[in-house]
Amino acid sequence: MSLHLEKAPTLAAPKGPLAIIVLDGVGVGRHDESDAVWLARTPTLDRLDRVALKTTLLAHGTHVGMPSDDDMGNSEVGHNALGAGRIFEQGASLVETAINTGRLFESDVWLEAVSRAEAAKPGTLHLLGLLSDGNVHSHIDHLFAMIRHADQDGIGRLRVHILLDGRDVGSFTALDYVAPLEALLAEVSAKPARDYRIASGGGRMFVTMDRYESDWAVVERGWRAHVLGEGPQFESATAAILAARAETKDLSDQFLPPFVVVERDAAGQVVPVGAVEDGDSFFLFNFRGDRAIQISKAFENDDFPAFDRVRRPNVLYAGMMQYDGDLKLPHRFLVTPPHIDRTMGEYLSAAGLKQLAVAETQKFGHVTYFWNGNRSGCFDDALERAIEVPSDRVEFSERPWMKAAEVTDTIIAELQSGHWDLVRINYANGDMVGHTGHREAAIIAVESVDLCLERLLEVIEALGGAAIITADHGNADQMIQIDKKTKDFARYPDGRPMELTSHTLNPVPLWIFDPHRVGLFVLDEGLAQRRLSNVAATALMMLGYEAPQGYDPSLVKRA
């Protein structure tokens, strides 16, 4: 396949570098008391409103490959769209289709699990994943479909290991999901030769779902609870959640401690109901990859120095999808992930342009792996470099400035070297602090990024460069839950506003900052819609190239 870029006639690249700057989680909100972006003091963004071309982009739902426009965007699909220049059907949609058509349950992996359950009685099918309908990492409907089909296929023993959300859904909604799950499991267990139960769990940010190897202790807590059956013991998941709430009233679901459900065996000993044993099958039903890779490594890698696994049971391990196509991790999976080809980065590498990617740990994989179409590494090591600035290991509301200054220092030093043609940057603050639900911290997060952006744009302008500033989805733009019926703020029973920790459905801003070519470009008003996938063609045009065939068109055109 040809990766040749055609030069745009009579249009040259800027003298300096082009920067694509992602203000992660900074959407366009209602400009009210819920909107930390609007409440923040942002003189740099205000200046961009005056001197740059400005529009908004759709960053949610079908506009980024999700099943419906009721689905929030997220950093994974957002960076896929930014880098790929067009929309691919994403994990949530692919899984939904595979379930609805029955293809998932006809896959070799599912059929092998059924066979193992029959051959290794009482072999168990274990299902681990995020329990919510956030549809960012997983969906509870997918889990329920798998449970019902396991029953239909004659699997007698099933255990669910639940990761509580409180991040893509309300902070204290765990029981809203646990109650119907416990009811379904009880319904199936009432049948002859069926034993379906919750076995373990914990909050997603404290148990199992670490990413980018930021804190392996999170994964270790999950391994001990889910696999070894070690941890605080309770008679049910509901009891565990109520106990944690009683101890720390305002602790969000995402930070709840691990728990293990136990019972008494025939000898009267207290034992876990769902420790993993040889001959079992273990499926991770999350479809999103970044927070699924480390637990997959714990199951699959022979050489594993991260923590002492104590024992690694011989199981059929599979993911809902393959979470890393380059590492082939996991080796077995239920649904084939999207094949994203011909990304902007690949085209630019083939054209000989030098590219730099910079972010702190929390978003490093997004400006690298996801931007490049779910591909690890560089297309050309001689032309590309990726720099990770290590994130703090603290609750982000405690340090809402995060590593924005260090990211900016790194970028400025690299830009002043004169080496790079295109730089892609992610400032993680708006998203990571937005997820804490702490509005005042989110305001500081946005202000911190604005200050760093001022420094960065000064250098870009001095070098004769240009910048595209946008976001991958909303988050900090709505920090208080809005009642869908009244359109007013939702409140706790005590009258306090309910914080919102999830992404939003709001559009995201986009500015074209090109001070040395003012008047050369204008917004293309003929576009039916503007979305993240239009950014790639826009960047290529600003670099003096025509967009490749099939790319969504540029947001700007020559004046």
* First-to-last C-alpha distance (Å) of the chain: 33
Q: How many CB atoms lie within 10 A of CB 379?
A: 17
Which residue matches tokens 């995402």?
A: 254
Catalytic residue among 2, 34, 68, 75: 75
Local structure of residue 45 (DSSP, 8 states): H
Q: Which candidate, 330, 448, 392, places its Cα nearest to that of 45?
A: 448
Nearest to 400 by CA among 426, 438, 361: 438
3-state secondary structure 457-516: HHHHHHCCCEEEEECCCECCCCCECECCCCCCECECCCCCECECCCCECCCEEEEEECHH
Residue whose C-alpha is closest to residue 48's, from 81, 78, 26: 26
Nearest to 293 by CA among 227, 209, 221: 209
SS percent in the chain: helix, strand, coil, step 5: 35, 20, 45
Active site residue 391: no
Q: What number of other Cβ atoms are within 10 A of residue 296's Cβ?
A: 23
Interaxial angle between packed helices 404-415 and 439-462, expressed in degrees from 0 to 180 and rounded to the nearest 10: 10
Tokens of residue 524, six digits: 């293309």
Task: Catalogue the active-site residues.
Answer: 75
